[in-house]
Each structure stands twice: as C-alpha cells, then as structure tokens.
Amino acid sequence: MRIRAVVIRTDYWRPGTDYVRTIVEAVRPIVRDGDIVTVSEKAISVARGLIIDESRVRPSLLAKFLSEVWMRRIWGGPLGRITKLRRRTLRRLKRYPVAEGAAHKEAALRYVGLLQALRHYSEGGIDASNLPYSYVSLPLRDGEAVATEIRGAIERETGRRVTVMIVNGDTTYSFRNLHLAPRHLRVRGFVHLGGFLTFVVGRTLGLRRRSTPIAISGGELNPDLALTLADIAHKIRGYGAGRTVWDMARRFKVGITGVTWEMLESVVHRPIVVLRIEEERI
C-alpha cells in the first residue's frame, strides 16, 4: 500500500470563515473517489468562533497553584524528566508565565476538567498556537457532525465519494491494538484514561506516538490505519506560525501575547491534506 498526499494551502481562517465552502472549493480540482480529506481541528474551531480570550479569565487559587507550582516545579522538574521531555521544553516550563498561565489553567479547568488541566500543553484540545493575543481555541464537541457536513458538501458539489477526517496534532499512544487517546473520542477503537494519565503512561512506557483522528465520516477505517493517516496529514501540514506560543512569539519577535491577526495572515497555512491510498503493483 502506498499513500499519496496533496497538501492544500489556503488563507488563514479567521472566526466567521465559511470553512465548508472553502474546503469544497479547495479540493474540487483534485479529489477522487475513495480519497481521505483531512482537515485541521484547530482551523475549524477558529473558523467557528470556538475561541476565548484568556485575558478576561479570572484564575482561581487552584489555577494559580497549577501555574506557579505544578508547571514550573513539577513539570519543569521531576515529572518532565520522567516523561522524557526535551531540554528546551523543560527550560520553558521552568519559566512558565505565572499570570498568563494561571488564566490558561483556569480556562482548562472550566472547559475540560482537572485531569486535562494537569497536562503541560494541549489540555483536552485547548490550543494557543496560531492564535493572536491571549486567545485559545476550544476542542470540537460535535466533530462527527462537522465531518459529516463537510463530506456531504464535497460529495454534492463534486460527485466524488470521500472520507473526511478531522485531525488534531495531540498524541495518541499505541501498544499493538491498544490505542490511548488524549481525550474522549467517538472514533472506534480508542481508549481514554484522562489527558494527564494518557500522556504520562504513554511517555514513560515509550509507546508509539501518532497524531489523533478526532472524527471520521465516510469509509470505515481501522484504528491503526486511521492513526497512520492522521499522523501523515499532521506532519505534512506543518505548524503554521509555530508549534507553540513560544515559537510563534520568537518568530515575530514579540511577547507571548503580542502576536496579531495580521501577523498570522502573513504565514503559509495548510489546513487541508488530501490522502489517496494506492495499491502497489508487484
């Protein structure tokens, strides 16, 4: 089996972008029957306005503890070493911004719960990268319905039968047929332990790491193939303005809340990757 990938560049999707129409027009010239159209969950969340301004969030005492003690001293210390985080990541965690971090942890506590808030990044799908100022995106609650809507529009407009997969770069950990997802999914074959526990178990045991298919509509894909396709799409898509808020700020030479919408629009964005499975000839 060989997998062919076509990466599609689009404008940055601000809140209010008609992402379904944008996807249909982007894939119309190339899509074929049987293709898997993958789309970034983050891009869809932003287009739908599923973002919050954390500068308006008032942190609780628990959120302040998570920011100042849990992140800096525990994740930046023994827990980070146990889970084999990179040295650069450990350095950043030791300097975790206390005030902004407390607001971020409060948002995580409110929207995705304690077990996710205990993570050191991407808490339950909450993501600050490729967003301006103090905004973060929230995870899709209705990913399957969104994927079905996109698939229906593609099939009506192009006459091609496709599978649509919404992908998040957060990691699923696998051991043989056991797949530990970073959050609860309605995709067949995935187990959810809670974001913090999934990460710690997966990293300490050195399990296989791949990006996560948040929702699938269309063809039936076994979990291992779905993970492989999601991982290919995520890696090919790239990280836009930066993998993390630190990378983004360094790129534009501003503080971590100094990135603007206009800065983000100046960067190449590839929210859509079309994958085609081809049988290899012997």
Tokens 């979990």 sit at which residue?
A: 223
Q: In angstroms, rounded to a whole number, what is the distance separating the alpha carbons of residues 203 and 184?
A: 19
Q: What local confidence, expressed as pLDDT, does residue 233 receive?
A: 97
Sign of the C-alpha dihedral, residues 94, 244, 233, 40?
positive
Q: How confident is the model at residue 108 (pLDDT cuts 50, 70, 90)?
A: very high
Buried b (16+ CB within 10 A) or exposed e, 168-184: bbbbbbbeeeebbbbbe
Q: What local confidence, expressed as pLDDT, does residue 126 receive?
A: 97
CA neighbor of 275 nearest in space, from 126, 159, 147, 165: 165
Q: In angstroms, rounded to a whole number, what is the distance separating the alpha carbons of residues 257 and 275?
A: 35
CA neighbor of 277 nearest in space, from 214, 218, 212: 218
Vertex 190: Cα angle to 63 and 121 (nearest 5):
25
Residue 209 pLDDT greater than 60, yes or no? yes
**Predicted TM-score (pTM) of this structure:** 0.94
Vertex 63: Cα angle to 207 and 129 (nearest 5):
55
Residue 201 is which amino acid?
Answer: V
Based on the number of CB atoms within 10 Å of its own CB, is 165 exposed (0-12), middle (13-18) or buried (19 or more)? buried
Tens digits of per-residue pLDDT, 119-155?
999 999 999 999 999 999 999 999 999 999 999 999 9
Average pLDDT of 175-204? 93
Q: Where are the domains of the chain?
A: 2-50+140-278, 52-137
Compute how many other C-beta atoms are within 10 angstroms of the C-beta atom of residue 221: 21
Answer yes or no: are the C-beta atoms of 251 and 244 closer than 8 Å: no
Tens digits of per-residue pLDDT, 35-87?
999 999 999 999 999 999 999 999 999 999 999 999 999 999 999 999 999 99
Tokens 């993390």 sit at which residue?
A: 244
Q: Determine the topology of domain 2-50+140-278 in CATH.
A: 60s Ribosomal Protein L30; Chain: A; (3.30.1330)
Vertex 231: Cα angle to 230 and 236 (nearest 5):
100
